[in-house]
Structure formats: C-alpha cells, structure tokens
Amino acid sequence: MSAQYPGNYGHPPGQGYAMPPPVNKGNMPPNQPGQSGIFGPLGSKPAMFNPNQVQNGPPGPPGPPGPQGDNRFGAPRGAMPGQPPVGQFNGVGGAPPMRGPPPQGTQPPNTQFSGMKITDQHGPQPPMGQNPQHGQNNPSNRNAPPPMGGPPTSTSTFQSGMGPPRMGPPPTSMGPPPTSMGPPPTSMGPPATSMGPPLTNMGPPPTSMGHAPTIGPPASNIGRQPSMGQPPTSMGPPQNMAMPPTNMGPTQGMGQLPSMGPPQGMGPPQGMGPPQGMGMGPPQGMGPPPSRMGPPQSMGHPPSNIAAPPVSGPHQNFGMPPNSGASQFTGGPPPPSGFNQSPGPGGFPPPGHTHGPPPTSMGGMGTVPPSSQYNAYSGMPGQQQPHDQFGQAPYNNQFGNQRPAPQQQQPRKLDPDQMPSPIQVIEEDRRNRSDLFVTNAKGAVPPLVTTDYSVQDQGNCSPRFMRSTMYNIPCTSDILKTSHIPFSLTVTPFAKLKPQESEPPLVDFGELGPVRCKRCKAYINPFMQFIDGGRRFQCVFCGCSTDVPNEYFAHLDHTGRRVDCYNRAELCLGSYEMTATKDYCKNSVVPKEPAFIFMIDVSYNSVKSGLVNLICERLKNDILVNLPKEVDAEESEIRVGFATYGKELHFYNVKGSLAQPQMLVVSDLEDVFVPLLDGFLVKLSESSAVIDSLLAQIPQMFAESRETELVLGPVIQAGLDALKSAERSGKLFIFHTSLPIAEAPGKLKNRDDRKLLGTDKEKTLLSPQNNFYTKLGEDCVAAGCCVEMFLFPNSYVDIATLGEICRITGGNMYKYSYFQADIDGDRFLEDLSRQVQHSKAFDVILRVRTSTGIRPVDFYGNFYMANTTDVEIAALDCDQAINVEIKHDDKLSEADGAYVQVAILFTSVGGKRRLRLHNLSFNCCTQMADLFRSCELDTLVNYFSKQAIRNILNTNPKQVREHIMNEVSQILACYRKNCANPSSAGQLILPECMKLLPLYSNCIIKNDGIQGGSEISTDDRSYLTHLINSMSVESSSVFFYPRLLPLHNVDTETKELPSAIRCSSDRLQDDGVYLLENGLSMFLWIGHNVQPKWVQSVFGVNSAAQIDIDKCQLVNMDNPVSQRLAEIIKEIRMDRHRYLKLTIVRQRDKLESWFNHFLVEDKGLNGSASYVDFLCHIHKEIRNILS
C-alpha cells in the first residue's frame, strides 16, 4: 500500500512532502498519511473532521455528528487537495491532488482522490506519526503519519490494506476512544499503539475509521496541523480523519462502534499513548489518524512517505499549497476533475484554515469524524484556487511541468485504492457486526446486508423484512428536502430468515379478530401505549385511544406495561402474524387452498429444445414434491393443474378416479374459458398416478408438433378463469418460448429495434406495445392470480409488454435465452423448484401505516394499486420487495419518534387468511448531522435504482443519468455544507455511511437495466428492468456491485468464502482465477497465465486453452481444490434467489468483454464512467452546488 500511495501521491507528494516534511514531520507524515490517510480520511473522514472537529474534537461529542456523517471527498477530489487542503486534511490535500490526477490519468477526480488520500494521509500521517510515535508533539504526529503511509499501502482497500495497518488499529482504537471520548487522549493512545501495530491493525481501523471518522477528523486536522506545522492540529485532523471518525461515530452515537474500536484500538491506544501526549483533542484525533496514517507509517517516515507525502507535502506545505495545489491540479485535475480538485487544492487555504480549525474541528472531529470519513478527497483547496486561476489545461501543464514525473503519474491515475472501497466497508461491517442484532432500540441502524448477522426480534422487525434509507428521521420536511435523501422503506414481507431466527409467530384472536386502533385501523403492536389501567390503548400512529375489548384485557404492571406483554407476540415483537377473520376475506368467504397451474408451451421450439420433455420428466418428482406447506402440515394443500398450449389450449383432467387423463382442447381464443373444474385442480397426493400418466403422455402427444405460432393472452385468461371458477387464488407457471403472434387476444408484433436503446426513443421499446397485458394483469390481481413467467426465447419476445403481467401480479420472470435442456435444464429446474417452494402468500393486500406527520406517498415494485393506499399483489414470495417512499405532511416530534407498520393481509399456502405485521420505530432528529449518521446506503441504492426504472419510461436516458447524479451531488453537497466543517470547497467530503454513494450510484447508472445501450438486447434490458423493480436490498446490493472472488489460491481448509476484491480489471492477475457473481449470473475468469496445476486439478485438462467453456458446470474432480471450488459455487448459489449460470471466461477470449462489463469500477463498454471519473465528476458537481 504504502508503495502505491507513494506511487500516486507518494511522488508528487514526495516533493511536496519534501517540503512539508521539512516544515513539519507532520507534513511529511501527513502526506503519506494523507495517502494512507486518504483512506483513512475516506474511511473516517477524519481529515474533514479533523479540522473542525479537531477543535471540536476535544469537545468531541458535539462536533462529532457533523463530521461523522461526512466523508469528505472534497479532499479526494482536490485530490488530495484535500490534503493540501489539508484544509480538511490539510497538507494531505496537496498530496492527494497529485494522485488524483494520476489515477484517472487526466481526470482530476483521480487527483482528487489522491488528494483525498493525501488529506487523509496528512491527517493520518500527522496523527499517526505524531500521535503514535511522537505522541503529543506534532512530530510525533508526523511520525505517526509515516507509519500511516505504510498502512495506506496496505490500505489499498482502505480498510483492509491501508486501513488495517495503521488505520485499522487507530480506527478501532479510535472506536474506543470515541466511546472513551472523554478519554480521547487514551484513544489517542490506542491509535498510537495501533500505529505501532499499525499494519495489521491498520486494516481494521480504516473501517472503523469510517465510523470513527471523528477520529479521522482529528487526523485530518492533524494533517492540516502538520501542514500548519502545528503538530497537534495536524495531528488531530489527519488521524482523526481516519480513526476518529469511526471512533467518533461509535463513541458518541454508536455504542457498538466504540466497542469495535476499542478492541483494535486497544492496542493502538497504547501506542497512542504518545498521542495522548499529543494533546488530548487533537492527539486523539491524531490517534485515529494514525490508524489511517498507518499507511503513512508504512511510508515509514517522511522519506518513504515522501513519495506519497510529497504530494500531500505540497499541499501541506502551505507555501507549497499553491504550487502543490497547482501541481495537483495539473496532475490530477488536469482535465475537468482537475478543477474540482483544483478547487480542492484551493482548499489549501483550508489547510490553513484547517489548521486553525483543525484543532477545533478536532474536538468536533471526535464527533464529526463518523460522518465525514473520507471525504476529503480532492477537496484540496489549493487545487481549486489553481483552478480558478488557471485553465484546466494550464494547470495540468503547469503541474506537469512542475512535477513532471509525479504529476504525470498522478494525472494518469488516481489510485483507486484511495477511493472509498466497498470491499473495505463490507469487510469491516462483517467483522464488526456479524453477531446478534437485537431490535430493541429505536432507530438502530442494522448491519449491512452483506454481513452475516442474525436478528433477535425485540420489538422492531428484522431488517430482513424492512430496511429504511434512514433511521433517524428529520422532524420536518425541510431538513429532509434539503438533504435530498429520500426516505424510503424497502419491505420484503416474507423474507427468508436464517435457520436460527424464528419465523413471526401466529397470533389467534379467535372470533374477536385482530385488535386495531379504531381511528387509523392500525393493528395492535408493541408500541401501543396501554392507559387507563389497561382498559384503553393509545395508538402510536394517530394518537387516538381505543377501548381494549374485554377478551383482550390485561392489567398493567408498575411500569405501565401489560402484565402479559411477554406472552403476547403482538405486544413484544416487531413481526408477527394474526389469524384473520371472515371480515378480512374476499366477499367474506373463507378462502380455499391456493392452486398452481402449470401451463406449458408445446410448440415446435419448445419441443425441440427439450423443454417439454424436461418439464414433464422432472415436474412431478423434482418440483411438485416441494410444494409449500404450512408449518407442521403433513402434505401441501396446494392444488395443481396442468395445461399445455400452442395455438390452442389444452387442459387436463387428472381427477384421481380416472383411468387415464383427459385432455380438453379449447380453441375459442377470442373468448377463452376454462373447460372443466372438477379434476383440473387436484391435490398431488390424490391424483398421483393420473398425473404420472399425463406427464408421460404429453411429450409423446406433441413430439411431432409443428406449431410455430403461439398464443399467450388466452393462456393467461384461461388460467385466470380457472382460478376464478375454482374460487381460489394461486399462481400460473407459464413456460413460454416465443412472441405470441397467432391471431388471438394479446397478439403482439415484433417491434424490436435495439438501435433505439440508449436513445431518447428507447422508451417506445421499453413500454408495452399495448395495454392488453396490463389490463389482464389487473384482472388477475383482482382474482388473486399471479403469473410466473418462464421464458425460453430464441428471439425477441417483447418482455416489455409481457412483463407487464408479471409486474402487476407480482409474478417473477425468468428468462433462458437459447434454452437447451441438456445445458440449461438444471438451472431452469432449480429456479422453478425454488419458485414453487418459496411461494408464501397469495391474494395479498399490503398497507403501510405511519405516524402522523409522515405518510407513504409512493410505492415501487411489482404490484397493482387500485387506490392510493392499498398495494395489491396476487402472490408474494420470499424474494420480492416493495419500496415505499415516505414524505412528511407535518412535523414529527423528536421525543416521540416515528413508527411504521406494514400490514400484509394474505392467504397462506394452506389456504388460511392471515395478517402479517412488521413494525419499525425510528428516531427523529432536528440536526442534519443526525440524519446523515443513520442512513443506510444499500437501501438508498435500492431505492434509487427503482426510481430510475420508473424514470426510464418517463424521461430519457440522459435525464435518468443526470437525475441520479444530481441527487447524489445534492446529498453530498448538503452534507458538505451542513455537517462538515468548513473547509476548502475543493475537498470531497463524504458522510461516513454514504461514502460509497458515488460508487454505487455510478453502478446504477451504468447498469444494463438502467442504461443499457444497443450492446444488449431489448429483451434483456426489459428483463433486467423487471428484475430490478422488485429487488430486495440483498439482491440489489450485489447486483449493482458484483462480488469478485479470487479462486486461484483458495484455501481448501476453511469453510469461508475467499475475500472479495474490487470489481476492476486492475485487480485481476494474469495468473489468477476469479469468480464474479451478481445474483443473476456467475463468471469464472481464468487468467492466461494460470497455473497449469490448478487447471489440471479443477478441469482435468492441461491448459486453460483446453477447457471446454461451453459447459456451464465444473467437473467434479477428486481433489481438495476442485471440491472446494464446487462448495464455493454451491454456497453462492444457495445465497441467491436464482440459480446462477456459470460462464467460464478465459482471459482474452471473446467473452471477456462481456465479463468486463461487470467490472463496475472500470469504464464501461458504452462509455460509462469509471469509478474514478465519476467521483471526480460528482465532486465537481458538488462544488458547483456549493458555490
């Protein structure tokens, strides 16, 4: 890491540093730290904080919030202007810029990043170095930084790499510190120690950093300080930046984090010891910084750092600032980004300020850190100034000139390692939160979806059921509007739980029926307040008090709770089910058991591809045995029916008493109907023999089918009619191959023209060509008929139109292009089996109730709404999610908090009418900083993607793109403006919990489903669109940022998956083998220099060239590697909702370009921006907004 940093920043900074170092060791370190720090900062946002918080830092608590939220990319951008900017990061900024440029090459963003790093570095470095080693003295800070430098390198993944070493520790240490806030000093101590341990520790710290931002801040401050020359300040900032943040967050807000911090921190703290000396506030900050500094450490000291430092150095060097700023610009910013960055550089001034501020911020930092973790990317003030002053080009040139080599490098590439890394974030969360998540606290932010946590329901529903974009809701709509953060819930009502978690229990109120608020009709839940001795309860949503029915009465204990509250699930759990009475049934008639109708296309294509054979062969014994049943039930109550179709429909009477099945052909397509009732929908166990005989006959009957024209509309109509006639809700499983062009209702024409994709006219292709299927879908929903569509197209089938039926009925769609039974059969069967098995609820009505003051205003997902409040879904399975957007219509009270109740009225697989309820409580806040501290990025991404899907049909691709970018910029700018310490505009400061927002939003933008151009087919585009629309957070998280696992050195001993790496081609080694998956597909990438031994053991052939890539499966070889590989793949598949098709890609094969498509941090095929470019762009936008 250190090397890298140095590389980027290193050199440039080096020079800079050179300068800086002289000035202060701090400077030196800062720089390096900066780099590392950058991460640190990134993670922790320390830099940012540092400045502010540093000062605050001491105050710690107060400041923290602000800082916490933000990561300042500004810094990054500035490229480190940030550093120089040290402002935030101070010196670091300077350095960063350098890198910034390099990464992207030309783009400033990179520089910014570098800047970021730098800032961080600075922050960290100073802190690091100083804190740890020197302890209180700036020098010490500096020292620390250096180590940081070291860590940074490792940081590459911030946390892991850079972070770990120094950062890691620091942060963690930070973590503790924060808690110990008071102890800041001590915390400092830890950092220091961490410093010592730096490297290893560093890893973790960063993450913690993220949280710790507060600490980070200090670091950043430190960073600046260093630049300042004042150790403390600099110390504060930098380190704080890294460490602090985490700590900060933790300490103040987060109990947890702190704890986290502590552990690691513990070590560090000791090291910190010195830091303590540093000066409490700052020092602490320092402490943290150190963690980030880690890198710096690696940097060693100035010298080693130098490379890195230089950059920062420049920045740091105030004197330098300008220059460095310029240089940075040139380097990073050169081009556009340069500007941003440059501004960052401009930030330099900040540095100055920072210095000043740092201290203060430091204090704040403590607090702040959390939010601002990184942020300070480009931020470098210096840069900005340059910018202004110079044209971009000039800058570049100048820089170039000034710092020839380094700059060039910088401009060329902003070190991606310095940008916020999802891997780091995920890993850290996994490390820190992979235990029990107890839902007793109001507004507790749940662990990331990627974390393997388990939940104990103590009053709020599990995050698996419901996640929110924020857990601390602004009391007024103004704050929310200003923040631009959408308040949205992603509800997965029937999410699959872990084995150790218990399903929501069933509560039966008997004749009484569910107890509800008499005004708003909310269902009884743990939040309801019983008053008047238990005779009435007050609704938590609307405040109305309702009499408790006699049957339901219980006395209250001395705390005002009902004595039976722990005996009643509805009074102590967040999620539970209730038995519904007749009043909750359609027409007040108790529903019958649901039915599944399997409708198989038996046209020529279908028969030829082996589909018909496959289904008939496997349906009964492999699929139907999995029919869902009620818990404890002996057999499934689901009824099944079978139909086939081509140009006409065939229904089958499989009544158990028949000697052979009867086939009933319906050819009246204009006015289709179901020809039989009795014997069509049967219980599997009762008609086993007849069904066997039928499934054996179908392939024979249609073996000679020459039918190529198909119908579809009548098929669905008939299925609907069948369910209606049987008065059952249920699902139609339609296995369909081609565009329905036969003369019948629902006939479609081929209108494919993929050239239109990506243009303003694309919506003509992406919207349905007529409203037949939409209307039909509405009819289906009304009857509780869900359409699950399995498509096996060899050409265009107009998913945009067909998908409507699935979208409206809540059905899923599966697509197997060019299906061949022998190759794709297992995948299809697996999907089908899972779909059959996981059906949970039928004829669903979902309603969201919220506290007075907010209300649900919009819903996203696959469903139908006849009015504005009730979401109607024909069937729900465990994978489908619905997004609810909530807005204020009044004020909330901080004291009361806010509550949401999602009620799902449904028919169970056993035909029982039930209610499932999920309750969630939120904190309310009046401070923007509080808001930013408790956001949930994955949910936010989920929401953005769904919003984008909707926009695709209403606007044009450019607007969709710009809308997302704008929102992202606004959010970050808001944070910057309201929560981050004043600093150079050139710094990129990101809220801790949203430091990946730019990355993820870029992933959304470049996703095929949202921005797919002519390189994918129209159907694929619509298909993805459809999928995204109902994705749960778990799915969307991996879908937008795929998981890339190195497999060439897989550890055959462990049961754990290898650590993921970032999705960039830069991470792939020629001799490596990688597995990439996004929840839909899976690729095995084989480098061309892969070890023959590996190939031999996995594929049984001598070289990669001999691997048969047409096969989608791995051979089962009898050796540990092969077996481990199989296990890994199996495990991944188990995790996903769909069976992942495995595609083997050899490096430099034709397929590779498709594979590269999923490396989302790189430039896309269609010219979409790389992560670096995008970040730079966002930074620029932010600055535009701020100015």
Partner 1 sequence: MATYQEFIQQNEDRDGVRFSWNVWPSSRLEATRMVVPLGCLYTPLKERPDLPPIQYDPILCTRPTCRAILNPFCQIDYRARMWACNFCFQRNPFPPQYAAISEQHQPAEIIPQFSTLEYTITRASCSPPIFLIVLDTCMEEEDLQALKESLQMSLSLLPPNALIGLITYGKMVQVHELGSEGVSKSYVFRGTKDLNAKQIQDMLGIGKGASQPQQNRGGPQNPQAQQLPSNRFLQPVHKCDMSLTDLLGELQRDPWPVAQGKRPLRSTGVALSIAVGLLECTFPNTGARVMLFTGGSCTQGPGMVVGDELKHPIRSHHDIEKDNCKYMKKAMKHYESLANRAANNGHVIDLYSCALDQTGLHEMKFCPKYTGGHMVMGDSFNTSLFKQTFQRVFSKDSKGEFKMAFGASVEVKCSREVKVSGAMGPLVSLGVKGPSVSDTEIGLGGTCQWKLCSLYPNTTLGLFFEVVNQHNAPIPQGGRGYVQFITQYQHSSGQRRVRVTTIARNWADASTSLQHISAGFDQESAAVLMGRIAVYRAETDDGPDVLRWLDRMLIRLCQKFGEYNKDDPNSFRFSENFSLYPQFMFHLRRSQFLQVFNNSPDETSYYRHMLNTEDLTQSLIMIQPILYAYSFHGPPEPVLLDSSSITADRILLMDTFFQIVIYHGETIYEWRKQGYHDLPEYENFKQLLQAPVDDAQEILQTRFPMPRYIVTEWDGSQARFLLSKVNPSQTHNNMYGFGQDSGAPVLTDDVSLQVFMDHLKKLAASSSS
CA atoms of 911 and 964, how far apart (whole Å)? 43
Give the residue with the Cβ less far from partner 1, 589 or 677: 677
Task: Return the residue of 558, 706, 1055, 1150 that touches partner 1, per CB under 8 A.
Answer: 706
Nearer to partner 1, 666 or 900 (CB): 666
Q: Distance between CA 844 and CA 780 in Å, rounded?
A: 12
721/804 with CB nearer partner 1: 721
- Please work out the total of residues on this chain that contact partner 1, with binding judged by CB under 8 A: 34
CA distance 127 to 134: 9
Residue in 113, 494, 645, 702 binding partner 1, rule: CB under 8 A: 702
Q: With binding defined as CB under 8 A, does residue 587 bind partner 1?
A: no
Does 741 participate in binding partner 1 (rule CB under 8 A)? Answer: no
- Verify binding: residue 679, partner 1, rule CB under 8 A: yes
Interaction between residue 697 and partner 1 (CB under 8 A): yes
Per DSSP bridges, beta strands 913-925 and 472-474 are: parallel
CB contact at 8 A, 331 and 101: yes
How many C-beta neighbours within 10 Å does residue 630 have? 14
Reading the block at residue 543, the tokens are 């405040």
| CB of 479 or CB of 711, closer to partner 1 | 711
Q: Examine residue 708 and tell whether it contacts partner 1 (CB under 8 A).
A: no
Residue 553 engages partner 1 in binding (rule: CB under 8 A): no
Least distance to partner 1 from the beta carbon of 535, Å? 46
User: Are the beta carbons of 90 and 316 closer than 8 angstroms?
Assistant: yes
Q: Determine the interface stretch with partner 1 among 273-281, 304-312, 673-681, 1103-1111 (rule: CB under 8 A).
A: 673-681
Q: Does 707 bind partner 1 (CB under 8 A)?
A: yes
At 980, give phi and psi (nearest 5°): -85, 155
Q: Which segments of 1033-1115 does DSSP mark as H helices, in order?
A: 1033-1040, 1092-1099
Q: Which residues contact 539 (CB under 8 A, 6 or more apart)?
A: 517, 519, 520, 522, 528, 545, 546
Binding of partner 1 by 662 (CB under 8 A): yes
Please list, residue by residue across 488-506, b when 16 or more beta carbons sit within 10 angstroms of its beta carbon and e when fewer do: bbbbbbbbbbeeeeeebeb
Type of residue at 677? L
Identify the residue among 21, 175, 366, 675 touching partner 1 (CB under 8 A): 675
**Residue whose CB is less far from partner 1, 601 or 804:** 601
Verify binding: residue 694, partner 1, rule CB under 8 A: yes
Smallest distance, Å, CB 680 to partner 1? Answer: 9
Q: Is 685 in the site for partner 1 (CB under 8 A)?
A: no
Contacts of 781 (CB under 8 A, 6+ apart): 808, 809, 810, 863, 864, 872, 873, 874
Shortest distance, position 673 Cβ to partner 1, whole Å? 5
- Binding flag, residue 701, partner 1 (CB under 8 A): yes
Pick the stretch among 107-115, 155-163, 168-176, 667-675 that binds partner 1 (CB under 8 A). 667-675
What's the one-letter identity of residue 463? P
Helix pair angle (28-44, 11-18), 10° resolution? 130
- The nearest distance, CB 667 to partner 1, in angstroms, is 4
CB 87 within 8 A of CB 356: no
How far apart CA 83 and CA 315 sit, in angstroms, is 6
Which residue type sits at 103? P
Q: How many residues does the chain have?
A: 1187
- Cβ(1092)–Cβ(1073) below 8 Å: no
Rounded to a whole number of angstroms, the CA Rg of the chain reads 30
Q: Which is nearer to partner 1, 677 or 857 (CB)?
A: 677
**Quick one: which of 554, 585, 658, 689 contacts partner 1 (CB under 8 A)?**
658
Binding of partner 1 by 381 (CB under 8 A):
no
Q: What is the DSSP letter of 493?
A: T
Member of 508, 668, 889, 1131 binding partner 1 (CB under 8 A): 668
Q: Which stretch binds partner 1 (CB under 8 A): 157-165, 170-178, 547-555, 663-671?
A: 663-671
**Unique residue bearing structure tokens 């059906």:** 839
Per CB under 8 A, the segment of 181-189, 356-364, 434-442, 693-701 that binds partner 1 is 693-701
Closest separation in Å from C-beta 538 to partner 1:
47
The residue within the footprint of partner 1, chosen from 667, 685, 794, 1106 (CB under 8 A), is: 667
| Cβ-Cβ contacts under 8 Å for 84 (sequence gap 6 or more) | 16, 78, 90, 91, 92, 93, 94, 95, 96, 97, 115, 118, 119, 227, 312, 314, 315, 316, 317, 320, 321, 324, 325, 328, 344, 345, 347, 348, 351, 380, 381, 382, 383
Q: Which is nearer to partner 1, 694 or 1169 (CB)?
A: 694
With respect to partner 1, which residue has the nearer C-beta, 568 or 655? 655
C-beta of 648 vs 1071, nearer to partner 1: 648
Q: Minimal CA–CA distance to 803: which of 774, 783, 761?
A: 774
**102, 231, 336, 661: which one contacts partner 1 (CB under 8 A)?**
661
Pairing of strands 898-908, 913-925: antiparallel
- Choice from 676, 1057, 1109, 1117 touching partner 1 (CB under 8 A): 676
Q: Which of 693, 926, 1081, 1097 binds partner 1 (CB under 8 A)?
A: 693
Q: Which lies closer to partner 1 via its Cβ, residue 297 or residue 609? A: 609
Among 434, 529, 660, 1049, binds partner 1 (CB under 8 A): 660
How does DSSP assign 443-490, residue by residue? TPPPPPTTS--EEE-SSS--TTTEEESBSEEESSHHHHHHHT---EEE
Interface with partner 1 (CB under 8 A), residue from 567, 685, 700, 1103: 700
Instruction: Please write down the HEC assignment for all residues of 304-360.
Output: HHHHCHHHHHHHHCCCHHHHHHHHHHHHCCCCHHHHHHCHHHHHCHHHHHHHCHHHH
Judged by beta carbon, residue 457 or residue 721, the one nearer partner 1 is 721
Q: Give least dist CB 721 to partner 1, A.
A: 10
CB of 697 to partner 1, least distance (A): 4
Stretch that binds partner 1, among 12-20, 649-657, 771-779, 823-831 (CB under 8 A): 649-657
1118 binds partner 1 (CB under 8 A): no
Give whole-number Cα distances, 137 to 132, 250, 365, 911, 1166, in Å: 10, 26, 19, 73, 52
Beta-bridge partner residues of 1082: 1077, 1142
When asked if residue 673 is in the footprint of partner 1 (CB under 8 A), the reply is yes
Binding-site member from 651, 922, 1041, 1174 for partner 1 (CB under 8 A): 651
Output 651 or 735, the one with its CB closest to partner 1.
651
Interface residues with partner 1 (CB under 8 A) are 648, 650-652, 655, 658-668, 671, 673, 675-679, 693-694, 696-697, 700-702, 704-707
